[in-house]
Amino acid sequence: MSNPHEAVHLDGTEINWLHPPKVTRLVRWSKKTWTGKRVSGSFRHICHLNRLNNLSLRRFGRELEIIQPAWNIGVKASAGTHDMDSVVDLYVPGIDWWEQQRFFRANGLGCWYRHPPSFGNHIHGFTLPPVEGVVRSDDFAMAGFRVGVFVPQQLADYYAHAYGLAGSGHTPGADPSWFPRRIEDTIFDLDQYVARRAAKVLAARKH
């Protein structure tokens, strides 16, 4: 299995998988957006994107295209969603939109396919935070992730099978498209991801 990209430090140096950064530490991805801009985010978010990219290669034979990354400050139209961590607009070129929505939802990206007439075609999503307590909307904050002002409600809407939009877009059960049976079971496990890479480092040292 090829692994064309990886999380790296902001200055481009490699991650030490035996002593990884904190989950909330800002890092960047070696892959850039479709317009060549930097993709930055928390260590957990970027590792999740990289794992999704590898799974997309395996599933569809194609890499993700990042349209708008997290920490994309200054875009007025996306204020409240993309101005801090964990949120991304992306797609897999050439793949049916509903199929890729299923793929992303099954693999820990809380997301919706946004489409015309309200939007240009894209998948809007966020790396699901670890579950803490019974209220979903505070899970980002409980795990130490800073997100845009609208994102906690979107997280709660995702678990409620709502659209994550204004007005009736918050209505539970309104989104009839596919959701995982247990959304909690799709949450990305960063410790496991790091452990796989640490094991490879140690194995390489033995040879």
Partner 1 sequence: MSVTPPEPGLIDDPELGLPGPTATWHPGEAGLDEPTLINDDRVED
Give residues in contact with partner 1 (CB under 8 A).
Answer: 1, 3, 48, 50-52, 54-55, 58, 67-68, 75, 77-82, 89, 91, 96-98, 102-103, 105-108, 113-116, 118-122, 124, 150, 163-169, 176-178, 180, 185-186, 188-189, 192-193, 196
Largest CA distance in the chain: 60
Among 152, 153, 191, 158, which Cα is nearest to 44's?
Answer: 191
> 11 or 117: whose CB is closer to partner 1?
117
Residues 6+ apart with CB under 8 A from 184: 131
> 11 or 36: whose CB is closer to partner 1?
36
Rounded (5°) CA angle 30-115-58:
40
> 91 or 145: whose CB is closer to partner 1?
91
Cβ 86 to partner 1, closest distance in Å? 14
> 99 or 138: whose CB is closer to partner 1?
99
Cβ 128 to partner 1, closest distance in Å? 10
Instruction: Work out the burial of residue 105: count CB atoms within 10 Å of its CB; fewer than 13 is exposed, 13-18 middle, 19 or more buried.
Output: buried
Cβ 24 to partner 1, closest distance in Å? 20
The answer to whether 101 touches 177, Cβ cutoff 8 Å, is: yes
Element (H, E) at 141: helix 139-142
Cβ 124 to partner 1, closest distance in Å? 5
